[in-house]
A = this chain, B = another copy of it.
Amino acid sequence: MESIPFDVMDPDCPSRVVLQRIGDKWTPLIVHALKDGTLRFSELRVAVGGITPKVLTQTLRTLERDGLVERTVFAEVPVRVEYRLTALGESLLGPLDAVRAWAESHAGNILQARDAFDATV
């Protein structure tokens, strides 16, 4: 068992790729939407307001490939597809939720800072 094999400040370290995936535009919102269980494609589209189907598909495929989300197809008519977090994906809920909570609780401060900044320019 090694310690600290990864360092995000190193541009060639794989952990940087990982950081940029979980910090991408939609991943935090999708993971948050799935925190209470499974959702279908169309439910995810609504839960994550504003995402287009193309980008939702792309992001889900990447999350699946990275082992964070599991995709299950039910051979019904019409077809039903369910998405849910894997154990690895669930382990990401805590950290991402901290960032989400920060964003919600400090959004006001940032809007204020922008107004102040724009006023000086």
Binding site for B on A (CB under 8 A): 4-11, 13-25, 28-29, 32-33, 47-50, 64-68, 88, 91-92, 94-96, 98-114, 116-118
Contacts A8-B104, A9-B33 given: A110-B19 contact, CB under 8 Å? no
Say yes or no: A15 contacts B103, CB within 8 Å. yes
Given A4-B104, A103-B19, A110-B18, also A9-B47 (CB < 8 A): yes
- Contact assessment for A15 and B117 in the assembled complex, using a CB-CB cutoff below 8 Å: no
Is A99 within 8 A of B102, CB to CB? no
Kindly list chain B residues whose C-beta atoms are within 8 Å of the C-beta of A14.
107, 110-111
Contact B25 A99 (CB under 8 A): no
The residue in chain B whose Cβ has the minimal distance to the Cβ of A51 is B11
Query: In the assembled complex, which residues on chain B have CB atoms less than 8 Å from the CB atom of A102?
Result: 22, 91-92, 95
B residues in contact with A19, CB < 8 Å: 28-29, 99-100, 103
Instruction: Indicate if the CB atoms of B66 and A113 lie closer than 8 Å.
Output: yes
Given contacts A28-B23, A102-B95, A103-B19, contact A117 B9 (CB under 8 A): no
In whole angstroms, what is the CA distance A5 to B106 when docked? 11
Question: Of all chain B residues, which has the CB nearest A102?
Answer: B95
